[in-house]
Structure 1
């Protein structure tokens, strides 16, 4: 297995694959970490997913971008963020997720631009069209990649939302209408005490009603990536290898 640190577009990234020397990927998978996590938080997922589905090892390249914002001033020296959260949310004093879902977080446009620059640079470097690039992420990383997947000039190969939630509701609803049949994997813990399950259900309903092909995977757990969810995600990614 090969792991390379490089810069794609505006962001530092970790690239992981097990392709034969000189071979090019037929599918690229961009996975963005959550708020407060270190830049390399999701990198171990590449080897786990390739172990579950060896076909991925022979054809896919995983890309793990580092979020642009440092959280050192909040006491998290290695923590990164895609956009800042209101202090009342960080302190646990604001949990009106219905209200939050209607808002466009300050900093989301900049995060969107950064991830779009990664996708553009990745496409140029690998000669893969956007239709062979999957976007996804955990928690806040799932939010920003959902936003990007709904806005790219071309429909990506798929979207993976791991414990994400609904934001920018009206914008997403309007954009989702132009993404009919986009394959989506959405996993969420039923006992998530960070981003509640009912908000994930609202996101699922919005995407489903817009005509996206959503595989919704609830699991018995908190704000995490569960082993059974990872297996279901591996199945989803393997299906994308064949363009299904």
Structure 2
């Protein structure tokens, strides 16, 4: 599968993988900053069934890790710094474990390799309502989505998935049907047999409970050269909520 990406700058390749229902655009501000201020070629990648990348009937971490390998081969990338947030973090962990010859350093943002119960049901209901509606404007979409999701920042994040059709109405970029069918895959844990021995940084939001203190010991069993950093006052979208602090941690590590 040929993934869509935005490529910024020149230098050491840094691949960034977005989270569930996200896309490469979510990382553009940070990607531009790293590309301009540091010697990195930043690849903002849309994972399968997201953004402008192809849709598929299948969705799993094994497939997404293979997609990363194929992307690196397509662009002749080596000694890659691989960073992923949430779902993208799990893809990044598995890609680093499966293809360590490609990956120089790994950054995992606010996710652990453990299993997570499905917890996106309300969001998926809201997006299903959007897909089934005949939307004439983004304002109309926001009003409909607000019946399912009260938090404005979450709605703004999700509404980035809207695209205008030729006839003027809106549809979703994301492959909602496949993602709903494979929702159990999103929370799936990494096999404890999978490991990566290269330098690894786990960044968590201080207000997020995705990585708990007790998870750190298990993480170190699979990622032996791990360091942990926490950004106070940030939730799960730590890179968006505290961009300056996040940027500093990332550039210090890479």
- Answer whether contact 1:189 1:223 (CA < 8 A) is retained: yes
Report the structure, 1 or 2, having the larger strand content: 1
Distance 2:101 2:33 in 1: 29
183 and 108 in structure 1: CA distance in 2 versus 1, 3 angstrom threshold: same
Distance in 2 between residues matched to 1:174 and 1:13, nearest whole Å:
31
Name the residue aligned to 1:160: 107
Query: Matched residues in 2 for 1:186 and 1:41: separation?
Result: 20
Find the counterpart in structure 1 of residue 73 from structure 2: 120
Task: Tell me, yes or no, if structure 1 residue 197 matches structure 2 residue 193.
Answer: no
Q: In the alignment, is the contact (CA less than 8 A) between 2:90 and 2:190 conserved in 1? A: no
Pick from 32, 35, 54 the counterpart of residue 20 of structure 2: 35
Which residue of the partner structure matches residue 174 of structure 1?
193
TM superposition shift of 1:230:
2.0
> Contact (CA 8 Å) 1:35, 1:82: kept in 2 or not?
no
Task: Quote the residue 1:186 is aligned against.
Answer: 202
CA 154–133 in structure 1, closer or farther in 2 if over 3 Å, else same: same
Instruction: Report the counterpart of residue 87 of structure 1 in structure 2.
Output: none
Given candidates 224, 231, 246, the residue that maps to 1:219 is: 231
Shift in CA distance, 14/79, structure 1 to aligned 2, threshold 3 Å: closer
TM (normalized to structure 1)? 0.62
Assess if the C-alpha contact under 8 Å between 2:35 and 2:41 holds in 1.
no
Determine helix, strand or coil for the equivalent of 2:219.
helix
Extract unaligned runs of 5+ from structure 1: 1-8, 20-24, 71-77, 85-104, 238-244
Corresponding residue of 2:96: 149
Q: What is aligned with 1:108?
A: 61
- So what's the TM-score if we normalise by structure 2? 0.60
Cα RMSD after superposing both structures = 3.0
Once the two structures are TM-superposed, the CA of residue 152 in structure 1 deviates from its matched residue by 0.3
Q: Note the residue ranges of structure 2 that are not aligned, 5 or more in a row.
A: 115-187
Distance 1:81 1:218 in 2: 34
Q: Is 1:229 aligned with 2:246?
A: yes
Structure having the higher Rg: 2
- May I ask how many residue pairs the two structures share in their alignment? 176
Q: Helix, strand or coil: the match of 1:115?
A: helix
Indicate the residue corresponding to 1:140 in structure 2. 87
